[in-house]
Amino acid sequence: MNRRHFIKWTSVGIASAWGLGSLSMARAAQPFKVVVMGGGFAGATAAKYLKLWGGASVDVTLVEPKTTYHTPILSNLILNDSISPAKLGMNYDTLTGQYKVTHKANKISSIDPTEKRITLDDGSTLTYDRLIVAPGVDFKYTNTYDVNKVPHAWQGGAQVTDLRRQIETMPSNGHFVMTIPPSPFRCPPGPYERACVVADWLNRNKPNAKVIVLDANPDIVVEKESFGARFSQYGVEYHSNVKVTAVNSDTKTVSVSGAPRASYTAEVLNVIPAHKAGASALLSAAGLLSGDWAPVNARTFESSQVSDIHIIGDAQATGVPKAGHIANSEAKVCAEAILNSLHGKPNNSAQKINSACYSPVSATEATWLTGTYSYSDSTKAWIKVNPSFAAGPPSRKHYREMFGWSSNLFSDTFA
């Protein structure tokens, strides 16, 4: 009997499971233990909603080494000095205080899916009835180089502040060169948004500076009309189908193929490398990965390879966009599915998740992009509800709405 069938069988009859004397079954009593790995938009939302809906029936432990999480969302506004970095720092005080989530400021060093146990970097262990893995993304570097000199600034926090400092101090006729990774990558509008925001700032502050965008994709991935128009307006030099082959952080040179030149040297070089699931060594050792990402049952986000472990957010492989808003969305579906499963309740067949993002394109204007997905019982996948997919043009109104959106998204996740 493989483990999956074993679990399915035992969930039908808890009494007989007790009789088997299985350690994991002995633990399957209330309060259930759910461990969440990763305190970003996916993990923090899952922890909060498990307690909001599950209350005393579930113990939730959030394992996240950081005590302050810096959101990548809105972080391009640090690059044009429109927002202070501290403003994007989120803590877990409400989750631990109001929602009774236990926060362990540790890294997970190993996962044992058979014993349903994780080991932390301090040597302590935690057992779980369900484990939610929300590690975000990691990068596939072309070669070893100093990311302090060539930051990706794609995970919020210190690298973004570093990149801002570099932009601020670059010579007035300097070059800002950024590379965009091949899809799928976190936040599809993000790199184009960044190029716009930086170009707009440079145009106003260092009008002789030059912005060059080297995109691995065949074209602007999303909102081409808005971003393309802004690239023209700002004088951004854009090349598609450009593959990064090497990065030299000492000379700040990126070697490429498919661009007019074989290499670009810049005063400020922002290479955003190709993505893979975060904590990939750990996930790989636990048998969760297939290629770069973790395949899941789309309805519950349970791993299709390992029982009782769910993967949400950027690391999972359902094919929906990788971004904070939809990660929050997935987390709620996953949290309810876990609670229903632990309590022996059925899931509703129909379900929806959604993606939404506002992208600043200057210090005063933003665009939006949105869409809703419906779970299909027949294809076992998240299917686009086509009429709901749309983009909004740059406007000051959308820029202001962006703060209404992010205030609620951040609060729904962290507060």
**Residues in 35-64 at the binding interface with another protein, rule: CB under 8 A:** 48-49, 51-58
**Touching another protein, residues 137-166 (CB under 8 A):** none
- Footprint of another protein on residues 223-282 (CB under 8 A)? none
**Rounded least distance, CB 387 to another protein, Å:** 4
Enumerate residues 375-404 that contact another protein by CB under 8 A: 385, 387-390, 392-393, 395-401, 403-404
The residue ranges of DSSP E strands in 99-152, in sequence order, are 102-104, 108-112, 117-120, 125-127, 130-133, 137-140
- Give the tokens for residue 309: 């472990």
- Provide the pairing of β-strand 130-133 with 253-257: unpaired
Distance CA 165, CA 148 (A): 11
Measured from the CB atom, is 44 or 211 closer to another protein?
44
For residue 59, give the nearest of 24, 91, 27 by alpha carbon: 27
CB of 160 to another protein, least distance (A): 15
User: Distance (Å, rounded) from C-alpha 103 to C-alpha 95?
Assistant: 8
3-state SS track over 244-281: EEEEECCCCEEEEECCCCCEEECCEEEECCEEEECCHH
**CA-wise closest residue to 270 among 137, 148, 139:** 148
- Residue 366 CB, shortest distance to another protein, in Å, is 10
Among positions 63-82, residues that touch another protein (CB under 8 A) are 74, 81-82
Q: Closest CB to another protein among 234 and 405?
A: 405
In 273-337, at which residue ranges do the beta strands (DSSP E only) sit?
274-277, 309-311
Residues 359 to 378 in contact with another protein, rule: CB under 8 A: 363-364, 368, 370-372, 374
Q: Is 85 in the site for another protein (CB under 8 A)?
A: no
Q: How far is the CB of 16 from another protein (least distance, A)?
A: 23
**Cβ-based nearer residue to another protein, 293 or 405:** 405
**Please, which residues bridge with residue 372 across strands?**
354, 385
5 vs 343, which CB is nearer to another protein? 343
In the block, tokens 């930086």 appear at: 198
Site for another protein in 89-128 (CB under 8 A): 90, 94, 98-100
Q: Contact letters (x/-) for another protein, 326-355, by CB under 8 A? A: --xx--xx--x--xx--x-xx-x-xxxxx-
Backbone angles phi, psi at 345, to 5 degrees: -105, 150
The least CB distance from residue 148 to another protein, in Å, is 26
- Whichever of 284 and 395 has its CB closer to another protein, that residue is 395
The count of residues interacting with another protein (CB under 8 A) is 73
Q: How far is the CB of 375 from another protein (least distance, A)?
A: 11
End-to-end CA distance of the chain: 43
The token pair that represents 335 in the structure block: 């949290």
Q: How far is the CB of 81 from another protein (least distance, A)?
A: 6
| Cβ atoms of 132 and 91 closer than 8 Å | no
